[in-house]
């Protein structure tokens, strides 16, 4: 974790840093004891990587959400942590105002992704061995209807339900229904995992609009 985090977020009147951990085990212990709204997790820490630490936090069943900060944009741990349950992914050097806004968004139930970072992590030109195998059922986009695949593509490009509704000329409620069906059919937890699935299944490629 970058230095000065308490200073950066402590300056925000609605945010408070309740604890700081030096390694993965300590992060897990503090999350269980302090039960913060959001844990800012580094991709690499002493004793554990961000994916393992995220998996441990999520396994507690507590309403603690994880926002991952990636120091190395080529580190596959970022994707593994998203699969493990992280609710966001940002570069570690993100500007303080952006970080504060991301913490608020994740605390409020949203997911936050830096699409340039995710695109690099999921670049299909990288050797497949660099990415961990998916833990979920091995499904493909063929299990979805044409409209569900279309919604999934829009999700993977970072569009909100409202934006998807405008593009497809349907109601936002209809989009929410399609999103729910996509997640259920593919055995995915949330929109973040849907994005990862869309890239790794080859449905879309990084850099395409």
pLDDT tier, 191 (very low <50, low <70, confident <90, very high otherwise): confident
Query: What distance in Å separates the CA atoms of residue 203 and residue 5, rounded to the nearest whole number?
Result: 37
Concatenating the DSSP letter of every residue in 68-98 gives: EEESSTT-THHHHHHHHT-SEEEETT--HHH
Say how many CA atoms lie within 13 Å of 185 toward its Cβ: 17
Q: Each residue of 52-62: pLDDT tens digit?
A: 888 888 888 88
- The residue-averaged pLDDT of 42-48 equals 75
Q: Which of 105-119, 131-145, 182-196 has the highest mean pLDDT?
A: 182-196
pLDDT at 76 over 80: no
> What is the model's pLDDT at position 167?
94
Say how many CA atoms lie within 13 Å of 133 toward its Cβ: 5
Tell whether the torsion through CA atoms of 16, 21, 24 and 28 is positive or negative: negative
Say how many CA atoms lie within 13 Å of 169 toward its Cβ: 0
Domains annotated on the chain, with CATH? 5-128 (3.40.50.2300), 134-200 (1.10.10.10)
Query: What distance in Å separates the CA atoms of residue 166 and residue 57, rounded to the nearest whole number?
Result: 37
From 69, 58, 57, 2, select the one nearest 31 (Cα to Cα).
57
pLDDT at 202 over 90: no
Mean pLDDT of the chain: 78
């Amino acid at each position: 974790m970058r230095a000065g985090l308490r200073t950066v977020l402590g300056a925000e009147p609605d945010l408070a840093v309740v604890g700081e951990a030096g390694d993965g085990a300590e992060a897990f212990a503090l999350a269980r004891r302090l039960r913060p709204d959001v844990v800012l997790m580094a991709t690499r820490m002493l004793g554990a990587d961000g994916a393992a630490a995220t998996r441990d936090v999520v396994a507690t069943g507590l309403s603690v959400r994880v926002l991952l900060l990636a120091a190395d944009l080529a580190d596959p741990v970022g994707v593994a942590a998203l699969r493990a349950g992280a609710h966001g992914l940002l570069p570690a050097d993100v500007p303080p105002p952006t970080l504060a806004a991301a913490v608020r968004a994740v605390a409020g139930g949203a997911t936050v992704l830096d699409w340039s970072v995710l695109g690099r992590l999921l670049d299909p030109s990288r050797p497949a061995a660099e990415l961990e195998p998916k833990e979920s059922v091995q499904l493909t986009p063929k299990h979805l209807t044409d409209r569900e695949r279309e919604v999934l593509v829009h999700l993977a490009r970072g569009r909100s339900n409202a934006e998807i509704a405008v593009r497809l000329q349907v109601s936002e409620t209809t989009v929410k229904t399609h999103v729910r069906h996509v997640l259920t059919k593919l055995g995915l937890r949330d929109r973040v995992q849907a994005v990862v699935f869309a890239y790794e299944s080859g449905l879309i490629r990084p850099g395409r609009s």
